[in-house]
Structure 1
Amino acid sequence: MGRGFFANPIVLHDILCTCDGVVLGSTALHLLLLASHTYSTSWLPTNLDIYVPFWLENLIACLLVGQGYCLHKPASVDVAVYAGTSIHSVCAFSKGHYKIDVIISANAASIAPVFQFHTTAVMNCVSADHIFCAYPALTMWAHSHVNPMLLYNGGLHCKATAPLWKYMSHGFTFKPCVKSHRFRYACHNKTHTVTDGGCMWVDLEMFPHVTVTQQGAGRKDPYASWTRETEMTT
């Protein structure tokens, strides 16, 4: 998952472990969809979004600078694509054409913003030892609902609809809810949480493969293990 962004993919795992961080957005979705039997990931993520608790902002900045990334001015939070206030701030890092956005959670949980995204398609995250998907019954079939809170908080204006078009171009279909609501492509009756039975948790420690790297021979790369295992079963 960190390939390209870091010379050694193990570095991303170590950063997530040290900073209690999670990867969300298109990178997490891309890794998750490698296990889908009905979807071909013909696209690649263009940036990496790492979410960390607010008290670890300085630590992750130091770790990324140590990997050769440059910190830019703090980016403004585009509230148009969120349905809540769990985002404290955003810091942008770059190295060449690689870009990493560090999103600072407003509370103690890095995963808190996951349910505030624009659609269920990106309500997923990858930590140092787990993969989480909030709506696997939709996501693994390249289906999605719009987050109804965006509709209730002001409607789908141009900034909020841009991500919808993005994932439609990636082959996602926005499905109507089976129940009758005012908003055709949203369901506000079956909101998931991290603890209910409708979510999916994958323990990466279950995958036994070991990836040998130049800087860390014999160290386990759980993300490569997930990739290899899913390739063997598809």
Structure 2
Amino acid sequence: LLKFTESIVSGSNALNLIMLKSQQVVAHDINVYATEQYELVVVEYLKNQEGYKVADKISPKPKYDGSAIARIYKLENGEKKIDIIITHRKCAIAPVLQFHSTIVMNYITADNIVCMYPKWTCNRKGFINPRLYMEDKTNLRTAEALMKYKKRGFRLCAEPFQLGMHNCNRSIDCPHATRTTVDEHMFHWNINNGTAVGTTMMDCWDMPIIVWSLGGHGCTTESNRRSLNHILVAA
């Protein structure tokens, strides 16, 4: 299903496959991200083939903090629950880059486990997404999510230099740096044979390539630099 519909699984399930077993967090349900093109295919498959029922269908509300989200289907099968998050963007990865912090910017495809900020995540560090405060996206749900990870031993910071010093003009650790889903700083664990794109192993369905920058205020108090979060579908 994931391969045919170019969908992904994200959230705690993806994070748990990256962290050590002793550091894993409890995943209460599964979050599947899909594009509008395959919306009905994903929903009908889970209903007809897996026995799920649609418990609710809602439009984005402030608690979801995601302008890339078009609709959310809440499916249930007994105690098992799946949220299907539909994006109006051309790539299912787009909403992941609007998550509250880099800790949860990970996803699972049909053939890959991907971590977008492995250096920080594997060291239990996370950078809070600047769009939360620059675009006034902070709410109770977001605060609770951040506290959940903080209580589980993750270090969360809104100031990038608190996670380590970097050269803003050269370092990929700078939140203003432009990143892509095929750059060498992504962690791809390819569980099937994939196609090489540069130094990154990935499958052809993983196109289009996403280009993004987290943005935010200047990394130092002396800097006047300020940029907004942006996400582009490059190819």
TM-score by length of 2: 0.70
SS in 2 for 1:205: coil
In 2, Cα distance between equivalents of 1:96 and 1:191: 43
Partner AA of 2:27 in structure 1? P
**Which among 10, 20, 29 is matched to residue 24 of structure 1?**
10
Report Cα offsets for 1:181-231 as digits up to 9, x if no partner: xxxxx964246331333221121116xxxxxxxxxxxxxxxxxxxxxxxxx
Superposition deviation, residue 22 in structure 1: 0.2
The answer as to whether partners of 1:54 and 1:104 remain within 8 angstroms in 2 is yes
In 1, Cα distance between equivalents of 2:25 and 2:43: 28
The answer as to whether partners of 2:6 and 2:34 remain within 8 angstroms in 1 is yes
The answer as to whether partners of 1:121 and 1:139 remain within 8 angstroms in 2 is yes
Aligned to 2:181: 194
Q: Cα distance 1:64–1:17, how it changes in 2: closer, same or farther (>3 A)?
A: same
Superposition deviation, residue 171 in structure 1: 1.9
SS in 1 for 2:160: coil
SS in 1 for 2:57: coil
The answer as to whether partners of 1:130 and 1:203 remain within 8 angstroms in 2 is yes
Task: Give % identity.
Answer: 29
Report Cα offsets for 1:30-81 as digits up to 9, x if no partner: 11214xxxx7235331000000111211111111112111112203424444
Query: Which structure is higher in helix share?
Result: 1
Aligned to 2:26: 44
Superposition deviation, residue 167 in structure 1: 1.1
Q: Indicate the structure whose relative CO is greater, using CA pairs within 8 Å and at least 6 residues apart.
A: 1
Partner AA of 2:102 in structure 1? T
What 5-or-longer segments of structure 2 have no aligned partner? 167-172, 194-235
Q: Cα distance 1:154–1:127, how it changes in 2: closer, same or farther (>3 A)?
A: same
The answer as to whether partners of 2:62 and 2:137 remain within 8 angstroms in 1 is no
Aligned to 1:73: 56
Runs of 4+ with >4 A deviation: none
Partner AA of 1:71 in structure 2? V
* RMSD (Å), alpha carbons: 2.3
Query: Which structure is higher in strand share?
Result: 2
In 2, Cα distance between equivalents of 1:95 and 1:171: 32
Superposition deviation, residue 27 in structure 1: 0.9
In 2, Cα distance between equivalents of 1:157 and 1:79: 8
1:47-196 → structure 2 map (5 Å cutoff) = 47-66=29-48, 67-82=50-65, 84-154=66-136, 156-175=138-157, 176-178=159-161, 188-190=175-177, 192-196=179-183
The answer as to whether partners of 1:81 and 1:118 remain within 8 angstroms in 2 is no
Q: Cα distance 1:19–1:129, how it changes in 2: closer, same or farther (>3 A)?
A: same
Report Cα offsets for 1:83-137 as digits up to 9, x if no partner: x521111001011111100000112211111111000000011000011111000
Q: Cα distance 1:192–1:166, how it changes in 2: closer, same or farther (>3 A)?
A: farther
